[in-house]
Amino acid sequence: MIRVVLDTNVLVAGLKSRNGASFQVLRMVGPKAPFQPSLSVPLVLEYEMALRRALGAKDQRIEPVLDYLCAVGDLREIYFLWRPFLRDPRDEMVLEVAVGAQASRIVTHNVRDFEGVKERFGIRIVTPAEFLKEVRESR
């Protein structure tokens, strides 16, 4: 099972449009998926805040999507902080979950924001489209 961490921007993009790779990644999440998303309580709270900002505080899709991610995801408690390592402090919790879960990939639209992660931690940084291609090729 491939462990991945989904950056917040993937969830936002996936819920804003059904046409992109982010939506396809979210659609694949589940017990039969070839990957499992890893998360932490702080990351789920970040997901919720970002989704409410992007979609509106009362959007009915947010809570069920987050509940489902928590049900099928690999929930991790983070006991250490790697901060500061990245340019954007909001991305630090994504990195912390990935390191704590020994994830093989971080799926994000902002690949440049995770510069140096592969070299230091061995975690590949991929876009949703690249990740989908890898998943489909591995089947």
- What pTM did the predictor assign? 0.95
In the block, residue with structure tokens 């991790």: 76
Work out the average pLDDT over 103-116: 96
- Tell me the residue length of the chain: 139
pLDDT tens digits for range 66-80:
999 999 999 999 876
Confidence of residue 135 (pLDDT cuts 50, 70, 90): very high
- Whether the pLDDT of residue 96 is over 70: the answer is yes
pLDDT tens digits for range 9-56:
999 999 999 999 999 999 999 999 999 999 999 999 999 999 999 999
| SS3 at position 106 | strand
CB 123 within 8 A of CB 112: no
DSSP string, 17-86: -SSSHHHHHHHH-STTSSEEEEE-HHHHHHHHHHHHHHH-TT-TTHHHHHHHHHHHSEE--------S-S
Work out the average pLDDT over 84-96: 87
Work out the average pLDDT over 94-110: 95
Tokens of 3: 């462990």
Domains defined for the chain, CATH in brackets: 2-138 (3.40.50.1010)
CA dist 14 and 37 (Å) reads 15
pLDDT, position 82: 63
